[in-house]
């Protein structure tokens, strides 16, 4: 049944893609790039430092970066899904916005598989597991032991229910049998701030914002959620090498446009982002903040990838027992 649904989604998306009418004189006015997360995180840094300025330079038109927060990224995604399909409003989204939300929400005001056309897959990210400096553990293995000895005592923050950092902790809980209390936040910085203050004990955080706090001893890094170590924190082991062989929980970042955006506009944007992502200075900035740069695939390849990811992460949401809870 899932294969049939996935095939239907791909077929519908391709039909929308092929049916889109051509556009004239694109672009002839500023483009708005919407981010569903707060300022200061990795995606915001990349959007403001590289993607936005480089796209403006190549298209000859201003690119306005706009952070629209709230609703677990739903507010921003909905606004773009319902925007005019003309290429002047794009959404730069973390994977959860386009995958887990489809299963997480009882009634989602947008359909990730039908309401967007992929434009560019730009990067992926592994998250850093950090604890408050007062928590008496210095490794991931010690955290598991401490949590088992103190069931329910630890509280962890995330960027929202069903977001990758939340599901990463749920995966750990399932694998180890430990119990912790979840507190959702509106972004990585808010959750990390409360870890520093001791209001919560741990969180998976953005590698772009954690190195200085780790160096100052305000939080302690126990591991990263990717299969490879993060470039900005080379001494922090992966959780897979620490205590959970094979463990991986990463997010990816995709630029999308409203469905029915003209094919030539989407193709133009895809081509421009491919050229931007090939620039050494762009790759360097992405690597320097702990992300992994990706070469954008074709639009058709991204549609197939997105349908597969919706199914995969939907299964994890169901296993975590949070399907339809938002």
Residue of higher predicted confidence among 161 and 306: 306
Dist CA 155 CA 200 (whole Å)? 5
Superfamily of domain 128-242: Periplasmic binding protein-like II (3.40.190.10)
Dist CA 211 CA 207 (whole Å)? 7
pLDDT at 187: 80
pLDDT at 307: 94
Tell me: pLDDT of 251 over 50.
yes
Name the residue with tokens 């953005």: 206
Dist CA 130 CA 195 (whole Å)? 8
Asked if 2-125+252-319 and 128-242 have one fold, the answer is yes
Where in the chain are the domains?
2-125+252-319, 128-242
pLDDT at 21: 46
| Residue among 105, 110, 75, 70 nearest 322 (CA) | 105
Dist CA 46 CA 238 (whole Å)? 24
Q: What is the mean pLDDT of residues 67-96?
A: 94
Residues 6+ apart with CB under 8 A from 37: 43, 44, 67, 69, 73, 94, 159, 187, 188
Three-point CA angle 24, 30, 32, nearest 5°? 110
pLDDT at 23: 60
Query: What is the average pLDDT value for the chain, to the nearest integer?
Result: 90
Q: What is the mean pLDDT of residues 47-59?
A: 97
Chosen CATH of 2-125+252-319 out of 3.40.190.150, 1.20.1290.10, 3.20.20.150, 3.30.70.380:
3.40.190.150
**Confidence band (pLDDT; 50, 70, 90) for 5?**
very low
HEC per residue, 256-275: EEECCCCHHHHHHHHHHHHH
**Do you find a cis peptide bond into 27, omega within 30 degrees of 0?**
yes
| Residue among 217, 194, 191, 228 nearest 206 (CA) | 191
Q: What is the mean pLDDT of residues 113-132?
A: 95
Q: What is the mean pLDDT of residues 71-92?
A: 95
Q: What is the mean pLDDT of residues 42-60?
A: 95
pLDDT at 20: 46
Dist CA 17 CA 131 (whole Å)? 45
């Amino acid at each position: 049944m899932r294969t049939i649904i996935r095939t239907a989604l791909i077929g519908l998306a391709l039909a929308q893609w092929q049916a889109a009418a051509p556009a004239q004189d694109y672009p002839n006015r500023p483009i708005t790039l919407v981010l569903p997360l707060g300022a200061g995180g990795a995606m915001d840094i990349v959007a403001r430092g590289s993607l936005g300025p480089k796209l403006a330079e190549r298209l000859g038109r201003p690119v306005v970066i706009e952070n629209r927060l709230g609703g677990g990224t739903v507010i921003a995604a909905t606004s773009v899904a319902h925007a005019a399909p003309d290429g002047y409003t794009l959404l730069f989204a973390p994977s959860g916005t386009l995958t887990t939300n489809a299963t997480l929400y009882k009634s989602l005001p947008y359909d990730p598989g039908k309401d967007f056309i992929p434009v560019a897959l730009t990067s992926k990210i592994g998250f850093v597991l950090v604890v408050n400096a007062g928590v008496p553990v210095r490794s991931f293995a010690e955290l598991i032991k401490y949590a088992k000895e103190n069931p329910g005592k630890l509280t962890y923050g995330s960027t929202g229910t069903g977001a990758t950092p939340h599901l990463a902790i749920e995966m750990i809980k399932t694998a180890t049998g430990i119990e912790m209390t979840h507190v959702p936040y509106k972004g990585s910085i808010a959750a990390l701030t409360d870890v520093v203050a001791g209001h919560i004990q741990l969180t998976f955080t953005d590698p772009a914002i954690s190195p200085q706090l780790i160096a100052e001893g305000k939080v302690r890094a126990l591991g990263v959620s990717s299969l490879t170590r993060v470039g900005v924190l080379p001494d922090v082991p992966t959780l897979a090498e620490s205590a959970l062989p094979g463990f991986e929980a990463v997010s990816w970042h995709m630029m999308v446009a409203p469905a029915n955006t003209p094919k030539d506009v989407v193709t133009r944007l895809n081509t421009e982002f491919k050229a931007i992502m090939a620039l050494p200075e762009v790759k360097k900035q992405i690597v320097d903040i702990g992300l992994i740069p990706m070469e954008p695939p074709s639009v058709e390849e991204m549609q197939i990838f997105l349908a597969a990811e919706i199914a995969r992460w939907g299964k994890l949401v169901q296993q975590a027992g949070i399907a339809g809870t938002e």
